[in-house]
Structure 1
Amino acid sequence: MMTAIIETSGLTRSYGDICALKPLDLCVPEGEWLTVMGHSGSGKSTLLNLLGGLDRPSGGSITVRGTDLATLSEDGLARFRRDCVGIIFQQHHLIPYLTALENVMMSQYFHSVPDEAEARHALERVGLGHRLKNRPGELSGGEQQRVCIARAIINSPRLLLGDEPTGNLDHKSTTMVMELLRELRDEDRFSIVMVTHNQEVAAWGDRTIHMDDGCLVREERTKGC
């Protein structure tokens, strides 16, 4: 039996009278690429924020790599995000006055000690070894997203979360980013949970769950392109 990296039981999240996530039981095996789909307000981003320790559940349990996130203090959640999770957002959130290399090194700063050689290697892995000294404004949208991927993997996370990471990219750049993520996942054997509206993007994963009104309504195996 495969080891689970994520397990939730009766997981819920409410904001006042609004129930954004209804009781959810979910298991994600180590190494799986799980895609989460659903219309706006379906609960998928709420789920992603809970998995990343960016928000706290209202009820139920959420365990990542054997740690119940509900039991962690704010400092404990910060350490969890630092040590276990890499996050790629739709908006790049790169610091505009820093170079690509410096942006990646900033992620190391919060984890341990910045290492220029390691940051350079991460950028080389995503095909940006020739763009180390360029600032975000000098990079294309696809290149900026690859910097974000390098930043997300620099600390060797076991769980990579993606919140519409290709939402602002054209088809060619989307395909390049997805191919890169698959290559990195196969090399490093981390797990991926990715939120997307794009059915073609979802097809790159191993399994897709569909959410509606805060509930998991169905799931399906995908071919992984």
Structure 2
Amino acid sequence: MRFKDVFSIIGPSMIGPSSSHTAGAARIGRAARKIYGEFPEQVEIIFYGSFAETYSGHGSDLAIVAGLLDYNTDDIRIRDSVSIAETMGMSLSFQTSKKPSAHPNTVMLKLKGKGRQEDSVIGASIGGGNIEISAINDFDVKFTMNYPTLLVFHNDRPGIVADITAILGSGGVNIGCMDVDRKGRNGDALTVIETDEAVPLALIERIRGLQDIHRICEADLTDNEVKG
């Protein structure tokens, strides 16, 4: 069992007004950017629940976009993030939905770029700046981004998860939590692994070299976050 750190208890250093509606939103945006892996040229942002009702007044839209620009929760540029993003060539679309969601502070981000497939990320701001990612590209997953996270998209075949974890173990990487979802038997699958430390590039390349691996994403918000 992992113990909560100071970040979990008192929240992050942040630009206000709300840890849930601003800091958490910024961290969801950063998580989506890390998963996508590069600057997204088109982003559709869909707010649900209380996010849908208050996102503009609480600056959740600015925070999400700041995260997409890879800004931290305490970056003073959050206030100008939309204009900065648009100047950099990011096309933004903000929408709301009345569709029920598992958590009131939920947002879906659809990210696109030239020559790349779309990534969709669903996340919720669950309080104190903490977040929970619940879906990626229609895979149902659950992780917090409180730890370095490795996302491995692959075919669902016997032994592939064991192959992935064996490589991590051989490199001394400790797995704190793992979640796996698949779209069908012997079809596409996603394995999400939270680790105690960032996974060395050499191990990632070994995993990438396995049969039936489609894509690997490194999603780490711990590299330069300022904690309260």
**TM-score > 0.5, shorter chain as reference:** no
Scaled by the length of structure 2, what TM-score is found? 0.28
Bigger strand share: 2
Q: Bigger relative contact order, structure 1 or 2, given CA contacts below 8 A and separation 6+?
A: 1
Bigger helix share: 1
